[in-house]
A = this chain, B = another copy of it.
């Protein structure tokens, strides 16, 4: 019932248990990661007639055709490179967007073939490697990272990532900052996601795929993200948006993101980077024994629990 009298700063310093030292002493790492799903979402959800559903197709096409050029132009002017995740089918279907992303110095990561949920799709090896072939053909090499559609990674995918030498994964939530996932055959960096920095809850309204959120105002939806940033910045953490061109790349929303980016770059000491660059940095820290990450050992369980 009595206050301790300790100062605010001393408590905050412990908000993150093992903070990562960022390049050049930056206080926070910041990644705007875009999942460019385009109309893959409707094709996977409604395989029989999706090709005739013109409204969701057009909603998805806004991403590669309108939002991606806008986003890339902002990044070009601000001089930053970021990470994009594309389903293999989108890589094949929207090669101009792929080309523009790569030209800007950005990174393209693996995001399934047709945005199929790994938990629901029986043969992950087939879909995973089909997508990989698309990346290799259009992006000139293997991706460094992976994000599972609807975050639904399973052990089969974890094993595929290790087998194919992926450097990082970004679908899990066990920490605020990057950590290691290790299996018996190898591991990778986990770049953790969170529903508080995902634009699906504030902006997605998509009856055809069973996802009906009450659309928030741009300033309300994005304002929630900036509160997450403020906390990450104070704590010296890692701030990653998981956003989508057809949602956050819309005119009114992107205008506010752009303003925030300009303001943040001007006033804060932040390291904006691609996720593969974050992985590079972390590898370097470990190699130089300057940092010891938290490790999650997988698989978590050998079978059903509570029996």
Query: Given the interface contacts A51-B305, A66-B176, A262-B3, does A217 sit within 8 Å of B224 by beta carbon?
Result: yes
Q: In the complex, what residue of chain B is closest to A55 when comparing beta carbons?
A: B151
Q: Is the CB of B155 within 8 A of A54?
A: yes
Cβ 8 A contact of A227, one of B15, B77, B114, B219: B219
Nearest-Cβ distance from residue A303 to partner chain B, whole angstroms: 6
Contacts of A207 in B (CB 8 A): 150
A268 CB, nearest partner CB in chain B, Å: 10
- A178-220 interface with B by 8 A CB criterion: 192, 194-196, 201-203, 205, 207, 211-220
What 1/0 flags go to A45-68 for Cβ under 8 Å of B? 001111111110111011001100
Contact call B266/A252, Cβ cutoff below 8 A = no
Question: Which stretch from A5-13, A96-104, A138-146, A281-289 is at the chain B interface?
Answer: A5-13
CB of B55 within 8 A of CB of A148, answer yes
Q: Measured between C-beta atoms, what is the minimum distance from A225 to chain B in Å? A: 9
**Nearest B residue to A232, CB-CB:** B251
Does A168 make an interface contact (CB < 8 A)? no
User: Please, what's the 1-or-0 string for A89-133, where 1 marks a CB less than 8 Å from any CB in chain B?
Assistant: 100000000000000000000000110000100000000000000
**CB-CB nearest in chain B for A175:** B66
Q: Does A160 contact B (CB under 8 A)?
A: no
Let me know if A154 and B232 touch, CB within 8 A. Answer: no
- Bound: A48/B303 CA distance, A: 9
A300 touches B175 (CB 8 A): no
Interchain CA distance A155-B55 in the complex, whole Å: 11
Task: Report how many copies the assembly holds.
Answer: 4
| Contact (Cβ within 8 A) B213 A217 | no
Q: Quote the shortest CB–CB distance from A296 to chain B (angstroms).
A: 7
Question: Are B175 and A62 interface neighbours, CB within 8 A?
Answer: yes
Task: Determine whether the beta carbon of A61 is less than 8 Å from that of B305.
Answer: no
Chain B hits for A262, CB < 8 A:
3, 8, 11
Give Cα distance in the complex from A298 to B147, angstroms: 32
A61 nearest in chain B by CB position: B174
Chain B residues, CB < 8 A from A300: 51, 54, 57, 61
A254 within 8 A of B: yes
Contact (Cβ within 8 A) B196 A58:
no
Instruction: Select A214's contact among B2, B172, B202, B234, beta carbons within 8 Å.
Output: B202
**Contact A54/B215 with A66-B17, A174-B65 known, Cβ cut-off 8 Å:** no
Closest CB pairs A-B (n = 10): A217-B224, A231-B252, A114-B306, A58-B172, A51-B301, A58-B174, A59-B173, A55-B151, A201-B215, A43-B305
Question: What would 13 more interface pairs be, CB under 8 Å, given A54-B153, A66-B176?
Answer: A1-B271, A8-B259, A11-B73, A51-B301, A51-B302, A58-B172, A62-B173, A202-B214, A202-B215, A216-B224, A218-B228, A218-B231, A228-B252
